[in-house]
Amino acid sequence: MSTLDIVGLCGSLRAASLNRMVLKLAASSMPQGMAMEVVEWRDVPPFDADLLAAQGMPPQVAALRERIRRADGVVIATPEYNFSIPGMLKNAIDWISRGEDQPFSQMPVALLSATPGPRGGAGVQYDLRKVLLYVNAMTLVKPEVFVGDAAAKFDAAGLCTDESTRRVVTGQMEAFAKWIAAVQRMN
């Protein structure tokens, strides 16, 4: 059986993003037979239907759509901005959702969010679930992962020092592996 190919997307563009650390924790917490590539989407341009009509899908978007389409699953770790989805992450989804062969359709997705404050990102995750439902993704139901007070849970090298967080993320990745298998059997 071949390795499950997982695309990791970080909702923040910041280099030292807590959510980037969470994404790497997820990558290193996966069960055997599953591997994540963190895919950068910084160069996705602003969505503009005129641009799409005049020039077709921009190459950065086409590449991102193609990369996701090839994957067996997508893991998104994202901060919460103003109680909802970071605008640029939503912009990337807006682009991805357009045109033929929409790559999120039937795609297994797992969500994590980390915040410096205690809440851990319920606002962003519920909005993102709604958007992902709209683009026909198969978002993992449980376990949900909210990493509150995240700055205290990673060291200077970006490694997780909190045993409980490690355990929760490991459990989610195990559930995600089963989820991917279940979705593949259904399709």
Segment contacting its own copies by CB under 8 A, of 31-39, 44-52, 67-75, 160-168? 44-52
Question: Residue 89 corresponds to which amino acid?
Answer: L
Interface pick for its own copies out of 23, 30, 75, 85 (rule CB under 8 A): 85
**C-beta of 28 vs 143, nearer to its own copies:** 143
Q: Rounded CA gap, 155 and 15, in Å? A: 15
Q: Which of 14, 13, 7, 19 lies closest to 160, judged by CA?
A: 19
Interface pick for its own copies out of 38, 91, 162, 166 (rule CB under 8 A): 91
Interface pick for its own copies out of 84, 162, 170, 171 (rule CB under 8 A): 84
- 151 near 117, Cβ under 8 Å? no
Does 167 interact with its own copies (rule: CB under 8 A)?
no
Q: Rounded CA gap, 114 and 169, in Å? A: 12
Q: Rounded CA gap, 79 and 159, in Å? A: 18
* Chain positions contacting its own copies, by CB under 8 A: 12-16, 42, 46-50, 81-94, 97, 118-119, 122-123, 126-127, 129-131, 133-139, 141-142, 144, 175, 178-179, 182-183, 185-186
